[in-house]
Structure 1
Amino acid sequence: MAENLHELLPADFGTGTFIGRALSPDGPCVIAVRSGQLFDLTEECPTVSGAIERRCFTGGRAMGLVEEGLPQGWSLLSPIDLQAVKASGVTFAISAIERVIEERARGYAGRAAEIRAMLEEKVGAIREVVPGSGEAMRLKQLLIDQGMWSQYLEVAIGPDAEIFSKSPVLSTVGAGAQIGVRSDSSWNNPEPEIVLVCDAAGEVVGATLGNDVNLRDFEGRSALLLSKAKDNNASCSIGPMIRLFDGGFGIDDVRQAHVDLHIQGPEGYVLEGTNDMTQISRDPLDLVAQCLSEHHYPDGFVLFCGTLFAPVQDRDAPGAGFTHKVGDVVTISSSRLGRLPNTVTTSKDAPAWAMGIGAFIRNLTARGLAGRI
């Protein structure tokens, strides 16, 4: 799915500063976009993680106008490298209800519609409360008394957010890559999200788009299968590039963002939806603080903020809801962050993850760059 870089970046890319990665014939390179120009920062900062820590966003080798694209033989990568990949779940009321549906359906999509109708009436009040507040705790007790409580409602309205590790370091894929769902999953979906990019101290320096590919059948059978539902080959897509915070783009733009989803199926099926960040139940900076907590992230971290979008539109059979097919083209977009397109395959058939930390360091060493990380 080759696309020109300027078609992936937002329309106002000429007014912003972006940083990311591309694969050259020699190996991964750090690239930046400033004032509509493309720069190679690799000689000064061979990792995005290091560039963020040292605020190495200027300078670099000029590569031409963004409209001219990447050099021949180069391709866009996920814009992160050594950062930990974290994610927050159940940060929207709608997604909380959908997680409870998965739990009560025991991962069987055919029961979802019936359970959804019942739960909407019973637990719809979670939309109105602030997580961790006294009102939320009173609602919790009421739901417990009614036999409606769930571990998912605990993280939806309780004091502690759900924060989990999504994907190993260097395993994420970028715009245009294939994304993977397990070949033995029969109920799964994309999750269009904003991804905050943080330095080692937890300061948010920018944002990008992400697809937290999710297996609803696995997680629905048991929350202890979360890692199996979330962390699979090619199951985490990030891109196209990181938009750095500046005077024209910041955390308030993240809070007001709309993240759109478009799925084009190989059989002509079309699904569209929107993740409206104004409806998030926990402020993005609160999620970052909970992710940082008492942890240390020496190479920084990125944090998926969660999504309110959970597709319930039937695809094949009435009441069966949505699940991916191989060949689905998934495009996540937002006006200030650009477009993140990917094509669905199975995790078994997706390109193997080959450049782990060891291979990455060996590549940088061979290029005389390892000492500059």
Structure 2
Amino acid sequence: MRIIRYEEKQSQSPTLAAITDQNQVYPLPFNSLLEVVAEAKVKQIKPVEFIQELIADSLPLNESLQELKLLVPIEAPEVWASGVTYQKSKEARNYEATNGKLDANTFYDKVYDAERPEIFFKSTKERTIGPDGDLFLRSDSNWQIPEPELGLVLSGEGEIIGYTIGNDMSCRDIEGENPLYLPQAKLWSHSCSIGPAILLAETVEDPYQFEITCKIYRNEELVVEGSASTNQLKRTFDELVGFLKRDNIVFPGTVLLTGTCIVPPNEFTLADGDQIEILISGIGSLTNPVKSQVAQTVK
């Protein structure tokens, strides 16, 4: 069972909906997944069971999922991200920090093996976009890439209530110049996208078997493609969530991105007009065009 938000054509208002295993779309009488989870908790049943009760006597939309204008599946008050959780990520960060000396050891090696993971603040609701929204290139960087990641959707208690796709845009040159520049290398307007859906956690048998694929198109030609699996993760999801919760407030609907294992070739950088497509098995495909001009105001 997946959850989406879409723009209803007549009212142009955000609408919550459930997608069944048969890809039928059923509108739900709630504004957010959090309300569904809360009501299911009151009824002492699982969210999937509650949703099945809600749609049992209703009809699906006539429109298919592909015909809907999808929005972010949840308006996450905060998006956090994890770094150096895969071997590939550690190697890429070392390359940036040492000007290409692949055999050099850095603090990225230390954090990869340390008890404490790297967790950093990535985005806010106002900075995060959904499917088909424009991602912006940072104007003072010459080496930018997408970072396709599995996202954990969390309750206020830090419980994983669902999984989504996240794109943690990154400036490799800024981070490589100085690790203290990490916030600037990661956080700017339209530097994060999530979507297209949330796969309810209770329907996932093994979250370490998600297959992730990233494709980048330029002038409609595929120029970068890579694949990975969450079974390559160095750390567990409970471990990452545990450190995020430590002495911290986790707002309901927070999304925690779990790191990337797909890194484009070192000579590659995103350009205006590129299109990024991230696919994760069971969740769907998150597609965003890339624009070079950063908007002066957040819409």
Q: Which secondary structure state, in structure 2, belongs to the residue aligned with residue 229 of structure 1?
A: helix
Q: Which amino acid aligns with 1:153?
A: D
Report 1:254-273 matches (<5 A): 254-266=207-219, 268=221, 270-273=223-226
Give the deviation of 1:171 after TM superposition.
Answer: 2.8
Q: Deviations over 1:130-181 (max 9, x none)?
A: xxxxxxxxxxxxxxxxxx3x33223211110011111012432112222122
Q: Deviations over 1:85-127 (max 9, x none)?
A: 111111012211211221223xxxxxx3xx23x34xxxxxxxx
Q: Does 1:78 align with 2:72?
A: yes
Q: Which amino acid aligns with 1:51?
A: V
Q: Which secondary structure state, in structure 2, belongs to the residue aligned with residue 160 of structure 1?
A: coil
Residue 90 of structure 1 is aligned with which of 81, 84, 108?
84
Q: Distance in 2 between matches of 1:28 and 1:85?
A: 21
Query: Which residues of structure 1 form unaligned runs of 5+?
Result: 1-16, 106-111, 120-147, 314-320, 355-373
Q: Distance in 2 between matches of 1:193 and 1:302?
A: 11
User: Contact 2:25–2:64 (CA<8 Å) still a contact in 1?
Assistant: no
- Percent of paired sites with the same residue: 32
Looking at secondary structure, tell me which structure has more helix per residue: 1
TM-score after normalising by structure 1: 0.70
Q: Which amino acid aligns with 2:81?
A: A
**Aligned residue pairs: how many?**
285
Q: Does 1:68 align with 2:64?
A: yes
Q: Which amino acid aligns with 1:40?
A: P
Q: Which amino acid aligns with 2:193?
A: S
Residue 280 of structure 2 is aligned with which of 316, 325, 334?
334
TM-score after normalising by structure 2: 0.86
User: Contact 1:90–1:162 (CA<8 Å) still a contact in 2?
Assistant: yes
Query: Which residues of structure 2 form unaligned runs of 5+?
Result: 41-46
Residue 293 of structure 1 is aligned with which of 231, 237, 246?
246
Aligned to 1:163: 119
Aligned to 2:294: 348
Aligned to 1:47: 32
User: Contact 1:177–1:343 (CA<8 Å) still a contact in 2?
Assistant: yes
Q: Distance in 2 between matches of 1:242 and 1:170?
A: 19
Give the deviation of 1:323 after TM superposition.
Answer: 0.4
Structure 1 residues 293 and 154: alpha-carbon distance in aligned structure 2, compared to 1, 3 A threshold = same
Aligned to 1:178: 134
Report 1:185-196 matches (<5 A): 185-196=141-152
User: Contact 1:80–1:170 (CA<8 Å) still a contact in 2?
Assistant: no
Q: Which secondary structure state, in structure 2, belongs to the residue aligned with residue 75 of structure 1?
A: coil
Q: Distance in 2 between matches of 1:103 and 1:164?
A: 18
Give the deviation of 1:352 after TM superposition.
Answer: 4.7
Aligned to 1:8: none
Tell me which moved more, 211-220 or 92-101.
92-101
Residue 249 of structure 1 is aligned with which of 181, 195, 204?
204
Q: Which secondary structure state, in structure 2, belongs to the residue aligned with residue 77 of structure 1?
A: coil
Aligned to 2:7: 23
Q: Which amino acid aligns with 2:132?
A: G
Give the deviation of 1:195 after TM superposition.
Answer: 0.6
Residue 100 of structure 1 is aligned with which of 94, 103, 106?
94
Give the deviation of 1:81 after TM superposition.
Answer: 0.9
Q: Which amino acid aligns with 1:331?
A: E
Q: Distance in 1 between matches of 2:144 and 2:221?
A: 19
Q: Which secondary structure state, in structure 1, belongs to the residue aligned with residue 128 of structure 2?
A: coil
Q: Does 1:224 align with 2:192?
A: no
Q: Distance in 2 between matches of 1:233 and 1:86?
A: 15
Query: Aligned-residue CA RMSD in angstroms?
Result: 2.5
Report 1:362-373 matches (<5 A): none
